[in-house]
Amino acid sequence: MNVTVVELGPRDGLQNEPTPVSVADRLAFARALGRAGLTRIEAGAFVHPSRVPQMASSDEVCAALVAEPDLVARHVRFSALVPNLRGLERAIAAGLREVAVFPAASETFSHRNLNQSVDEALASARAVCVSAQGSGVRVRGYVSTAFGCPYEGQVPVTAVLRVCEALLAMGVFEIAISDTIGVAHPGQVRALIRELRAALPVTVLAMHFHDTRGTALANVLAALDAGIATFDACAGGLGGCPFAPGATGNLATEDLLYMLHGLGLAREIDLAAVVAASARLEPAIGHPLPSRYYRASQVR
């Protein structure tokens, strides 16, 4: 089984940090992750800087990364979030060949995160997909709040499926089923994947877990057993969502790799090099990184 790790540290990891990280430090972090063997890296977000100031200068960050000769030679694919056509234009101008749209499965979160209803967000995503495909740019789709909403609580499977089917019809190459607030547990993961697999090809599905309640790795294991082969993670275990209060802690890339390597998976990614990338970033963010593996590795 080939497992793909999609590294989101430079975007999902840093977007929720109170201390702004310089362009130079963001670039060094993303470069180091690419050199560690991660081949898919989300490096920015083309959202309005007044909404997410941490992602300002994503143009500069992405343009520098796609021009980095050794990362080009390694076939590292860089991507960024784009909420609308303006974001897509900026992403293309920065040289990206891959972007991501991010509708939610719950109405209240959609309004808070995107200032749009779910249907309006899907219409925006569709416009991005049509234009991106016309420019030869591939599009990933996230489904936020797929396992629970910070405002509405439980999210019905039918709501998740509806967004997935809409994304697939738009031509996204992958759908990241996202536990925005870190409430998912393995029983729910198994049940949701079973429902999704009945309606969608399992190969388009990726899982995006947060470790807020300590269940992220257990969820990955349950998803692996259910046939999922693509997982999102953030080096250092940073991140959350500015519009999902309390949703700290994406699944740490280090923690994920430690488990995957033990299972004989994703061995091409250098765990020690990911730790080194996180260690170089840590002073710039001004607080200890939450990754368990990372913390253990720093004990001497």
Active-site residue set: 241
Contact range with Mg ion by CB under 5 A, out of 4-12, 39-47, 166-174, 183-191? 4-12
The residue with its CB nearest to Mg ion is 12
The position carrying tokens 């897509």 is: 88
Does 15 engage in binding with Mg ion (CB under 5 A)? no
Q: Smallest gap, in angstroms, from Cβ of residue 125 to Mg ion?
A: 18
For the CA atoms of 261, 267, 273, 275, the dihedral, rounded to the nearest 10 degrees, stands at: -20
CB under 8 A, 24+ apart: contacts of 70-74: 70/35, 71/31, 71/34, 71/35, 74/34, 74/35, 74/37, 74/39
Asked if 7 and 38 touch (Cβ cutoff 8 Å), the reply is: yes
Q: Which is nearer to Mg ion, 58 or 250 (CB)?
A: 250
Which residues from 241-260 bind Mg ion, rule CB under 5 A?
250
Q: Smallest gap, in angstroms, from Cβ of residue 239 to Mg ion?
A: 6
Count residues near Mg ion (CB under 5 A).
2
Q: Which is nearer to Mg ion, 12 or 174 (CB)?
A: 12
Which residues from 94-113 bind Mg ion, rule CB under 5 A?
none
Q: Smallest gap, in angstroms, from Cβ of residue 93 to Mg ion?
A: 26
Q: Which is nearer to Mg ion, 12 or 59 (CB)?
A: 12
Does 12 engage in binding with Mg ion (CB under 5 A)? yes
Q: What angle do CA 179, 80, 172 make, to 5 degrees?
A: 70
Q: Round to whole Å and give the CA distance between 213 and 210.
A: 8
Q: Round to whole Å and give the CA distance between 286 and 288.
A: 7
Q: Round to whole Å and give the CA distance between 283 and 276.
A: 12
Q: Which is nearer to Mg ion, 212 or 250 (CB)?
A: 250
Tokens for 278, please give them: 């996180």
Q: Round to whole Å and give the CA distance between 8 and 250.
A: 9
Q: Smallest gap, in angstroms, from Cβ of residue 250 to Mg ion?
A: 5
DSSP state letters, 186-235: HHHHHHHHHHHHHHS-GGGEEEE-B-TTS-HHHHHHHHHHTT--EEEEBG
Q: Smallest gap, in angstroms, from Cβ of residue 211 to Mg ion?
A: 10
Bridge partners of residue 134, in order along the sequence: none
Contact range with Mg ion by CB under 5 A, out of 8-16, 48-56, 99-107, 281-289? 8-16
Tokens for 247, please give them: 């949703």
Q: Smallest gap, in angstroms, from Cβ of residue 240 to Mg ion?
A: 7
Q: Which is nearer to Mg ion, 201 or 246 (CB)?
A: 246
Does 174 engage in binding with Mg ion (CB under 5 A)? no
Q: Round to whole Å and give the CA distance between 219 and 60.
A: 35
* Binding mask of the shown chain, residues 207 to 246, with x at each position contacting Mg ion by CB under 5 A: ----------------------------------------
**Amino acid present at 105:** A
Tokens for 275, please give them: 């730790």
Q: Which is nearer to Mg ion, 13 or 37 (CB)?
A: 13
- The site for Mg ion (CB under 5 A) is made up of 12, 250
